[in-house]
Amino acid sequence: MKYFFWIVFVFMALSGCTILPPVAENSNASPSLIGTPTSNVTPSAATPDKANERLSDLLPIQIGTAPIMQVALPNDLWERIRKGFAMPDLQTDLAQDRVTWYSSRPDYLQRMSERSSKYLFYIVDEIEQRKMPTELALLPFIESAFNPQAMSSAKASGMWQFMPRTGKDFDLKQNAFRDDRRDVMASTRAALDYLQRLYGMFNDWHLALAAYNWGEGNVGKALSRNQRNGSPLSYVELNMPMETRFYVPKLQAIKNIVADPLRHNIKLPHIPNHPYFQSVPLTKDVDVTMAAKLAEISVEDFKALNPSANRPVLLSAGIPQILLPWDNAEIFQRNFETYGGRLASWTAWIAPSAMKVADAAKKIGMSEAEFRSANQIPPRMMIRAGSALLIPRSDRVIEDVSPRLADIGQLNLSPEGTTRRVVVKAGKNDTMASMAKKHKQSLDQLAQWNNMSMNTHLKPGQEIVMYASGKSKSSGKSTKASKSNKKKPKQ
């Protein structure tokens, strides 16, 4: 009797699986599959009760010799994306115009789609976990053509094109050694957080997307104008810049093509519905070229998955994990653990004072060209005091770069020959943020110059150091100039 009830329970549980909506159907693809190292379990050995289950490995469940059911999962990631479409279609002439534009460029679509194959499974999986429309997985086509190293003329960076300030608002670190706006996992998390917040503000996905491109403040003002004028409060009725006017139609065009590629004479490349990469812990500093060698992949392929590392070395205190193609993760761990040679040939150094690049290179025994290249210093720029720089790691240096330096180290530059040290006094209720705004300085640079937190509340009269360029004077109250310039700035 007990065995009979057990069979009934199993049958009812399995039958319940068949009525799940499409999004839940794919929920077996857990983010923990990507975020958790699985060096001892290969995809072919994965079992259904493990977090690192491969979707393509699910088999029919049997009791005795009779199979009860087989879980049907999409083999192709495009099919999975189609099943999760949930946004209202934007049926406008501009959207159709963009469909024509993209479909007339099949080679461009092919390149973008092939590039996306490394990242798309992870993005779709994250979107489904949040129960968001899967159209959002196509947004990097519009933002960056799925290039995680893309940089716009306005300094937006990464696959999701975060501006520096917005990136910091969503905890994307940007320092001398890494830029999380380019990190595949971190930037995806931040982008989806931002999009969820915007949808919560406007309760409309088209308006949320417009705000992602144009800013929520601008969209809010445009809606207020329409409300005052008695105009409709929809995306198509807003008075907005041309870029934003084209933004949602572009996404709609990509959606239309993905929904029915044959209709538009497009053949999308096959993207399997399983993870492309997994994360592996990084416990020691290691050169980028060495990491690629240990993983037995090309440096180009390594950088495609780890684009946030913008220097020739990976600092484990700042980048605790790296992404590798699924089959290479275990290879890397085995080689990393058994390698007996030198892993990192670079370390970090703090500039003790403002200095020319040539002087800094000479001080540490490098050629100026090599020093500029390693630290990405453009011509005619001077290094400011307190800057974090990469220098060759001697055999005497045993310790890896410290967590604090790896996490907050900044490279601060100024035009050669025009930098002077200025000290200003804080007023009542001043904070680091208000001082930075008042004196037109970067908040993170101001905090680093003074070895303070960016949210520090200052005491009245507290002295704050900053570096001014050219002959412009600070607008602070009581100030002290450096020895090279005794004159006080104008009040």
Q: Which of 28-32, 151-155, 400-404 has maximum average pLDDT?
A: 400-404
More reliable by pLDDT, 147 or 34: 147
* pLDDT band at residue 96 under the 50/70/90 scheme: very high
* pLDDT band at residue 42 under the 50/70/90 scheme: very low
Is pLDDT above 90 for 58? no
Residue (of 241, 247, 167) closest to 206 by Cα position: 247
Is pLDDT above 50 for 291? yes
Exposed e or buried b per residue across 123-135, where buried means at least 16 C-beta atoms within 10 angstroms of its C-beta: bbbbbbeeebbbb
* pLDDT band at residue 486 under the 50/70/90 scheme: very low
Given a contact cutoff of 8 angstroms between Cβ atoms, the answer to whether 400 and 284 are in contact is yes
List of residues 6+ apart from 167 with CB closer than 8 A: 157, 174, 180, 181, 190
Strand, coil or helix: what is 482? coil
Among 126, 135, 143, 330, the one annotated catalytic: 143
* Confidence at residue 418, expressed as pLDDT on a 0 to 100 scale: 58
Q: Which backbone phi and psi does 122 adopt, to 5 degrees?
A: -60, -45
Query: What one-letter code names the amino acid at 487?
Result: K
Q: Which two tokens stand for residue 406?
A: 């790896």
d(CA 302, CA 436): 38
Mean pLDDT of 310-321: 94
* Confidence at residue 448, expressed as pLDDT on a 0 to 100 scale: 67
d(CA 249, CA 240): 14
Query: What one-letter code names the amino acid at 48?
Result: P
Is pLDDT above 50 for 56? no
pLDDT digits (tens, 9 = 90+) for 110-150: 999 999 999 999 999 999 999 999 999 999 999 999 999 99
Residue extent(s) of CATH 1.10.530.10 domains in the chain? 78-264
Q: Which two tokens stand for residue 399?
A: 């310790």
Whole-model pTM: value is: 0.73
Is pLDDT above 90 for 104? yes
pLDDT digits (tens, 9 = 90+) for 165-213: 999 999 999 999 999 999 999 999 999 999 999 999 999 999 999 999 9
* Confidence at residue 414, expressed as pLDDT on a 0 to 100 scale: 86
* Confidence at residue 422, expressed as pLDDT on a 0 to 100 scale: 85
Minimum mean pLDDT range among 120-134, 345-359, 472-486: 472-486
* pLDDT band at residue 54 under the 50/70/90 scheme: very low
Long-range contacts of 438-446 (CB under 8 A, 24+ apart): 438/475, 438/476, 439/466, 439/474, 439/475, 439/476, 441/466, 444/168, 444/410, 445/410, 445/412
d(CA 180, CA 174): 6
Is pLDDT above 50 for 359? yes
d(CA 481, CA 487): 7
Residue (of 188, 103, 100, 197) closest to 146 by Cα position: 188
* Confidence at residue 417, expressed as pLDDT on a 0 to 100 scale: 64
Query: What one-letter code names the amino acid at 204?
Result: D
Written as one string, the DSSP assignment of 371-411 is HHHHHTPPTTEEEPTT-EEEEEPPTT--SPPPHHHHHH---
pLDDT digits (tens, 9 = 90+) for 400-417: 999 999 999 999 998 876
Given a contact cutoff of 8 angstroms between Cβ atoms, the answer to whether 370 and 346 are in contact is no
Over the Cα atoms of the chain, what is R_g? 27
d(CA 353, CA 51): 51
Catalytic site includes residue 143:
yes
List of residues 6+ apart from 423 with CB closer than 8 A: 463, 464, 465, 466, 479, 480, 481
Given a contact cutoff of 8 angstroms between Cβ atoms, the answer to whether 208 and 201 are in contact is yes
* Confidence at residue 404, expressed as pLDDT on a 0 to 100 scale: 93
More reliable by pLDDT, 159 or 443: 159
CATH class (in words) of the domain with range 78-264: mainly alpha
* pLDDT band at residue 428 under the 50/70/90 scheme: confident
Minimum mean pLDDT range among 64-68, 127-131, 271-275: 64-68
Question: Which DSSP helix (H) or strand (E) runs through 61?
Answer: strand 61-63
Measure the CA angle with vertex 209, ends 267 and 28; round to 5°. 60
Q: Which two tokens stand for residue 107?
A: 């080679």
Q: Which CATH superfamily groups domain 419-481?
A: LysM domain (3.10.350.10)
* Confidence at residue 340, expressed as pLDDT on a 0 to 100 scale: 92
Strands 66-69 and 61-63: antiparallel
pLDDT over 70, % of the chain: 78
Is pLDDT above 80 for 62? no
* Confidence at residue 482, expressed as pLDDT on a 0 to 100 scale: 35
Mean pLDDT of the chain: 83
Written as one string, the DSSP assignment of 345-372 is -EEEEE-SS-EEHHHHHHHHT--HHHHH
List of residues 6+ apart from 252 with CB closer than 8 A: 89, 90, 95, 98, 99
